Structure 1
Amino acid sequence: MEQKTEELLNEITHAKGADQFMTNIEANFVHFEPAEYLVELLHIKAQTKSSVIRQANLTPTTGYQYFDGKRRPSRSRMIALGWGFQLTLPEMNTMLKRTGYAPLYAKDEWDALVIFALVQRFDLNKTDELLYQYGLGTITAAN
């Protein structure tokens, strides 16, 4: 049975050595590759790769490489893909965490504007315009 994060943290912080908790909780570690999670989201959201890639403003070649696991998307590209899936803020943060990236953080100015745009349901182009207006680059032009 999968343990709650709080329980895992408690076990880790009270362990006398790494071996004590690594063996006990290894089944709880998340090992999702972005491609695996993207495919999972396709099923959850009942969308197609092509529609997500188009809404994420990605070239088809690059987008399909992300879904096929041939390339690993950067954090900003994962956020663009989140837009392609039309994720909510909690869903976006779950996707980022499950693919090994930091969730959106309200104390970071770039992330704060992304959070605002996401909650306001801006499309990706309008979000990029907002980021650019504040001199913070864009989601789609970032690496």
Structure 2
Amino acid sequence: MTERKTEELLNEITHAKGADQFMTDEASNFVHFEPAEYLVELLQIKHQTRSKVLQAANISTGIGYQYFDGKRRPSRARIIALGFGFQLTLAEMNTMLKRTGFAALYAKDEWDALIIFALAQHYDLNKTDELLYEYGLGTISADN
């Protein structure tokens, strides 16, 4: 079965007579998010090491290695921190968020908006945390 477009899948779900109908018929179209798989993929794409990414993301190696090994699931804030560790662009960050099961950065949310600004300005995580703190929005690292 070929992959269905999201709009088509949404139409099938909303017009189904029962959950069993679409859960069975469309099972191959559902996405299963495995953050560890994508993090390891990014290591190869970006030619990085776990230790360098974790250091730049302000995440301890004890916890961080568990993210890469799939033993722990990172929160959205930690995924964003890892994105800074990988030095991702805005588009790459949003792809990483989606591929790990989280919402993309949303320009109408002030916390997300400042992260978008920081990415556009090529800020590192520490400078981004300072910016968020300056506006009374906490920090990315506070979750770390």
Fold conserved between structures, TM > 0.5: yes
Find out whether 1:47 has 2:34 as its counterpart: no
RMSD (CA atoms): 1.5
Q: Which residue of 2 aligns with 1:95?
A: 96
Residues 47-66 of structure 1 mapped to structure 2, 5 A cutoff: 47-66=48-67
1:24: Cα distance to partner? Answer: 2.1
Which residue type is aligned with residue 30 of structure 1? V
Which residue type is aligned with residue 46 of structure 1? H
- In 2, Cα distance between equivalents of 1:51 and 1:95: 18
Which residue type is aligned with residue 115 of structure 2? V
Deviates more, 1:111-120 or 1:42-51: 42-51
Q: Which residue of 2 aligns with 1:24?
A: 25
Unaligned runs of 5+ in 2: none
CA contact (8 A) 1:105 1:112 kept: yes
Residues 1-143 of structure 1 mapped to structure 2, 5 A cutoff: 1-142=2-143
1:116: Cα distance to partner? Answer: 0.8
Unaligned runs of 5+ in 1: none
Which residue type is aligned with residue 118 of structure 1? L
Deviation string 1:97-132 (CA, Å, 9 cap, x unpaired) is 221222211111111111111121111111001001
Cα–Cα, structure 1 residues 47 and 132, in superposed 2: closer, same or farther, change >3 Å?
Answer: same
CA contact (8 A) 1:56 1:80 kept: yes
1:17: Cα distance to partner? Answer: 2.0
